[in-house]
Amino acid sequence: MPDVDADPAWTVRVGTPVPLRERIAETICTLAAGGVGTRGSVEEKRSGSTPLVLADGVYEDASGGLLPGPSWTGLVIDPPPAADERLLDLRTGVLARTERGGDGPPLRTLRFASITRPGVVAMRAEAGAARLRAGPALLSPAAAPSSTGNLCGLRWARVTAKSGGGIVAVAGQRIGRDHTLRIVERVAGYVADPVRQPRLGPAARATRSAIAAGFETLLREQQAAWQARWDSVGIDLPADPDTQLAVRYSLFQLWSNVNRRGEAAVGARGLSGAGYGGHVFWDADVFVLPAMVTIDPRAALAMLRYRLRRLPAALARATAEGRAGARFPWESAATGADVTPSSGPLGGSTVPILTGTQEEHITADVAWAAERFLSWTRGSAARQELAPLLVETARYWSSRCRADSSGRAHVDTVIGPDEYHEAVDDNAYTNVMARWNLRAGAAAAERLSTDRAGRTGTDVAAWRELADRIVDGYDRQTGRYEQFAGYFGLEPLLIADVTTPPVAADLLLGRDRIAHSQVIKQPDVLMLHHLVPGEVEPGSLVPNLDFYLPRTAHGSSLSPAVTATLLARAGRPDDALAMLDIALRLDLEDTTGMTAGGLHLANLAGIWQAVLTGFAGVSVAGGVLSVDPRLPGAWPALVLRFRCRGRRIALSIAGERVRLRTDGPIRVALPGRRPRRVDEEVST
């Protein structure tokens, strides 16, 4: 069995979990690549285990969850190990399992999802010959219509979705002996299609090619490809090894769970679990995408193509509601129609869920994601391709705003990111994002008409004029934005008066009490300072942070990481680190009680953003990469590698000294310096 380097700086260890935590271990040890994810379940049947293979964007039906695919990791091990250890090696992208204790040769397995051969997975297992049997190379999930068969010595299995799409896998295995050991090598190729039945041929060809290459070659390819990834993106933070490992884990799972081919439907739990049905929320646009554009711009573009291909559904919805342009759904799956449930259980009663009808900021969030991608990458082709996301969303806001008698523009009856307060008017986040969207859309429309003469016929001047008239609730005297009209008149309850955050305050206090108080779920006004700092008043971060943070329950898993980012930007890096710590533990220690249902992908992305844009202070505006670090006392030095505007950047921060290296020309502004072109290296 190939050895795995158990370097604690690169490996996540999971010992034999108590049965209650088995599903958490499976989530944490998820391996995914090429749009196919496999939970890190043990190979034999184990109490509490929920093996699952999922494919990007392949849903059971129009509004259902992700379709479970054929499973490729099952073995018969009798007796099963009483104790074992799973070791997820982030550096090489392999999951190794070793039996602990017991008599005779221990069970050892090693598996990976190939990042060089999309859809190909491989496993080697060894144990005493009397204990280990290979069994069928593929197992069909119980919960979905499936068929299986043999094809020239290979096993195939197909799972069919009601929508017509499906997942097909073709697997081969070789069973050998080495003295008293039985050795099983298994390779499978997966092909998935959200719309129609995938053919066996491509999966069979991928499998045959992988079998011909051999397990050792596949493993070497995997190791080399992951090394190349870590060479271009990563973190070195030796003074804080726990944070370093957790950030590396975040990067690992982001790389793994976000498909980089075609389109990527990045659900709230990625491909690591069935939770949230694989549905796509603003998490993808505002949290995952800005991370992915610095990690793998191609994956970020695939995420935008998911939205772009559902633009017709967004246009149709706006039309149906009597609006212009495109309104994107709060919760999206296969078709782009809104799949948000209309009601749900809450403490024994059924309550209406209004996010689908009222959380309209998602439309501006999609546009923001497109603009974020464009500012962090280069290339006019993508600008042309993504322009409709900016233009049609701006057109939506142009029809959504209401003008009062004084000419000021309002957005009524919405839910902001703080979902504790529903049906509010003039939510600052929604209004300012709409304002930003109108301006960005106007600029994009102008570029379009420049590129294709006479194309738009859009009155961009009217959009800009409307943007200037949108109220944002800013009070010059206090420097605060009012979260929505009437917010300051609510009960001035602080979260410390209730309990210690993070806490799901709506569960604790009840919806009515929360709705009449100033306690909020997550940053709302402050998200503006995070996403569109150019749209908020200069110097307004600190007064709003001081006001809203004591009122924030952090009852959303999105909240801690973005708050860490904001605290770092406000010059409070030690407070930021304490907040980041909550985010780092969220999945690795299951502080939500729900990691069994899958990783909180947006939190993982938020962690990387907190480090890169919060602590290191990396930003891009006007084609210039700026660095403005705020490191906590516990971090004497920080090294980050990331992608920016087509370049591979290596940033070293040590005390006041900043050094930046690039593999090609890029405009850079270091602290206290004017922007300048850098071809190789610059430092303070």
Partner 1 sequence: MSTVLAATAPGGPGLAVTDVAEWMSGVLNASVLQVGASGRPDQAPDPDRVLAELDEPRSALAVIPATALDQLAWPVVRRARKPVVIVPGALVEHGHWQLKRALIPLDGTAESADAVTETVGLLSDAGVELLVLHVFDAATVPRFWDHPGHADRVWQHEFLARFCDRPGVRMQWRSGTPGEHVLDVAAAEHSDLIALGWSQRLDAGHARTVRRTVELSPVPVLLLPTRTGQ
**161 neighbors 67 (Cβ within 8 angstroms):** yes
Contacts of 654 (CB under 8 A, 6+ apart): 636, 637, 638
Cα atoms in the 13 Å half-sphere on the side-chain side of 280: 32
Q: Which of 43, 360, 419, 422 is catalytic?
A: 419
Cα dihedral: 120, 126, 132, 135 (round 10): 10
Q: Is 40 in the site for partner 1 (CB under 8 A)?
A: no
Q: Is 168 in the site for partner 1 (CB under 8 A)?
A: no
Measured from the CB atom, the residue of 277 and 473 that comes closer to partner 1 is: 277
What tokens were used for 425?
């008017």
Query: Sheet holding 31-33: strands in order across?
Result: 31-33, 36-38, 53-55
Q: What DSSP designation does 495 have? A: G
Q: Is 353 in the site for partner 1 (CB under 8 A)?
A: yes
Q: Is 346 in the site for partner 1 (CB under 8 A)?
A: yes
Task: Tell me the number of residues near partner 1 by CB under 8 A.
Answer: 45
**114 neighbors 122 (Cβ within 8 angstroms):** yes
CA distance 304 to 488: 37
Contact characters 1-20, partner 1, x per CB under 8 A: -----------------x-x
Q: How far is the CB of 71 from partner 1 (least distance, A)?
A: 18
Measured from the CB atom, the residue of 94 and 580 that comes closer to partner 1 is: 580
Active site residue 589: no
Q: Is 194 in the site for partner 1 (CB under 8 A)?
A: no
Measured from the CB atom, the residue of 596 and 616 that comes closer to partner 1 is: 596
Contact characters 104-143, partner 1, x per CB under 8 A: ----------------------------------------
Q: Is 665 in the site for partner 1 (CB under 8 A)?
A: no
Measured from the CB atom, the residue of 29 and 138 that comes closer to partner 1 is: 29
Out of 172, 234, 555, 606, which residue is the one contacting partner 1 (CB under 8 A)? 555
Write 419-422 long-range contacts (CB < 8 A, 24+).
419/355, 419/359, 419/521, 419/556, 420/505, 420/506, 420/511, 420/514, 420/515, 420/519, 420/520, 420/521, 420/553, 420/555, 421/483, 421/484, 421/487, 421/515, 421/520, 422/354, 422/358, 422/515
Residues counted in the chain: 684
Query: Given the rule CB under 8 A, which of 232-240, 374-382, 585-593, 639-647 is the region that contacts partner 1?
Result: 585-593
Measured from the CB atom, the residue of 23 and 643 that comes closer to partner 1 is: 23
E runs forming strands in 275-329: none
Q: Is 29 in the site for partner 1 (CB under 8 A)?
A: no
Q: Is 268 in the site for partner 1 (CB under 8 A)?
A: yes
Sites for partner 1 among residues 282-341 (CB under 8 A):
340-341
Measured from the CB atom, the residue of 371 and 524 that comes closer to partner 1 is: 524
Q: Is 597 in the site for partner 1 (CB under 8 A)?
A: yes
Distance of CA 299 to the CA centre of its chain: 11
Q: Bridge-partner residues for 133, per DSSP?
A: 76
Q: Kindly list the catalytic residues.
A: 419
Residues forming contacts to partner 1 in the complex (CB under 8 A) are 18, 20, 23, 48, 268, 275-277, 279, 281, 340-341, 343-348, 351, 353, 355, 498-499, 501-504, 506-510, 554-558, 586, 591-594, 596-597, 600
